[in-house]
Structure 1
Amino acid sequence: MRLLAVLLILLGGFVYGAFYVNKQLAAQTAAMVTRVEEIKSAARQQDWSGAAQQITGITRDWRRQQGWWTLLMNHQEIEAVDFALARTQAAVESKDYYNCSIEAEELKAILQHIPEKEAFALRNIL
Structure 2
Amino acid sequence: MRIIIGLSIILLALAATGIRVNHHLAATAGEMDVKFTHIEQAIKQNNWSKAREQVDSTKKEWEKNKTWWAVVIDHQEIDKIEIALARIKSYIEVKNTGLSLGELAMLRQSVEHIPIKEAVSIENIL
Provide TM-score, normalisation by structure 1: 0.94
Please identify runs of 4+ aligned residues in structure 1 that moved more than 3 A. Answer: none
Give the equivalent residue in structure 1 for 2:62. 62
**AA at the equivalent of 1:113:** H
AA aligned to 2:51 is: A
Shift of 1:90: 0.9
| 1:115 shift after superposition | 0.8
| Distance in 1 separating the partners of 2:118 and 2:54 | 26
Task: Report the AA paired with residue 104 of structure 1.
Answer: L
Distance 1:92 1:75 in 2: 26
User: Is residue 29 of structure 2 the alignment partner of residue 29 of structure 1?
Assistant: yes
1:77-92 matches, cutoff 5 A: 77-92=77-92
Following TM superposition, by how much is the alpha carbon of 1:78 offset from its aligned partner in structure 2, in angstroms? 0.9
The letter of the residue matching 1:83 is: I
Letter in 2 for 1:91: Y
SS state at 2:12 partner: helix
Aligned residue in 2 for 1:50: 50
1:47 Cα shift?
1.2
Q: Which runs of 5+ in 1 are unaligned?
A: none
**Paired AA for residue 94 in structure 2:** S
Question: In structure 2, the residue corresponding to 1:42 is in which secondary structure?
Answer: helix
Rounded to whole Å, the distance in 2 between the matches of 1:57 and 1:16 is 32
Sequence identity (%): 33
Structure 2 residue 1 is matched with structure 1 residue 6 = no
Opposite residue 60 of structure 2, the aligned amino acid is: R
Q: Quick check: 1:100 aligned with 2:107?
A: no
Q: Which residue of 1 aligns with 2:41?
A: 41
Q: Residue in 2 aligned with 1:120? A: 120
Displacement after TM superposition at 1:32 (Å): 0.5
Deviation per residue, 1:77-108 (Å, 9 max, x gap): 11111111111111112221111111111111
Amino acid at match of 2:36: V
Compute the displacement of 1:2 (Å).
2.3
Which amino acid is the alignment partner of residue 4 of structure 2? L
Q: Structure 1: which amino acid aligns with 2:18?
A: A
Q: Name the CA distance, whole Å, in 2 between partners of 1:34 and 1:88.
A: 16
How many Å apart are 1:3 and its aligned residue?
Answer: 2.3
Q: Which amino acid aligns with 2:97?
A: Y
